[in-house]
Copies of this chain bind each other. A is one copy, B any other.
Amino acid sequence: METINKSVYYKLKELKDNAGTHSPSINTILENIPEIDLRIDACYLSNPYATDLFISHFDSDLVKSNKLREVLEFYPSQNNNISYKLGDFLDIDHENIFIGNGAVEIIQAVIHNFSKRIIVNIPTFSSYYEFAKPDQEVIFYQLDKNDNYRLDIEDYIQFVKEKKPDTVVIINPNNPDGSYLTSEEMEVLVKELKDVKNLIIDESFIHFAYEEDSLQMIKAVDFFRENKNVIVIKSMSKDFGIAGIRAGYAIMPLEKRNYLLENGFLWNSNGLAEYFFQLYVNKNFQLEYDEVRRRYIRDTQKFYQDLLVLPGIKVYPTKANFVLIELLNGMSSFEFVSKLLIEYGIYVRTCDDKIGLEGQFLRIGSRTFEENEQIVSSLQSILTI
Residues of A within 8 A of B (CB): 25, 27-28, 41, 44, 46, 48, 51, 54-55, 58, 63, 68-78, 81, 101-102, 104-105, 108, 112, 127, 130-131, 133, 237, 241-246, 262-273
Q: B271 contacts A244, CB within 8 Å? A: yes
The complex places the Cα of A268 from the Cα of B273 at a distance, in Å, of 13
Name the residue in A44, A73, A262 with the highest tally of chain B Cβ atoms < 10 Å from its Cβ: A73
Q: B27 contacts A241, CB within 8 Å? A: no
Q: B46 contacts A73, CB within 8 Å? A: yes
The complex places the Cα of A106 from the Cα of B104 at a distance, in Å, of 17
Can you add 10 more A-B contacts, CB < 8 Å, to A41-B74, A72-B245? A46-B73, A74-B243, A76-B246, A101-B105, A101-B270, A104-B264, A104-B266, A246-B267, A246-B269, A246-B270
**CB pairs A–B below 8 angstroms (28 shown):** A27-B77, A27-B81, A44-B74, A46-B73, A48-B73, A54-B72, A63-B63, A71-B244, A72-B244, A72-B272, A73-B242, A74-B243, A74-B244, A75-B243, A76-B244, A101-B105, A101-B246, A102-B267, A104-B264, A108-B263, A112-B264, A131-B263, A131-B264, A244-B271, A245-B270, A246-B269, A270-B272, A272-B272
Question: Which of B78, B246, B270 sits near A244, CB closer than 8 Å?
Answer: B270
Copies of the protein in its oligomer: 2
Question: Which residues on B sit within 8 Å (CB–CB) of A272?
Answer: 72, 244, 270, 272
Question: Which residues on B sit within 8 Å (CB–CB) of A270?
Answer: 101, 244-246, 270, 272-273
A29 CB, nearest partner CB in chain B, Å: 12
Q: B73 contacts A25, CB within 8 Å? A: no
The complex places the Cα of A54 from the Cα of B44 at a distance, in Å, of 29
Name the residue in A74, A101, A242, A268 with the highest tally of chain B Cβ atoms < 10 Å from its Cβ: A74
The complex places the Cα of A242 from the Cα of B271 at a distance, in Å, of 10
Residue of B nearest to A271 (CB): B244
Question: Which residues on B sit within 8 Å (CB–CB) of A70?
Answer: 244
The complex places the Cα of A353 from the Cα of B244 at a distance, in Å, of 35
Residue of B nearest to A108 (CB): B264
Q: B108 contacts A265, CB within 8 Å? A: yes
The complex places the Cα of A129 from the Cα of B339 at a distance, in Å, of 54
Residue of B nearest to A62 (CB): B63
Q: A101 contacts B268, CB within 8 Å? A: yes
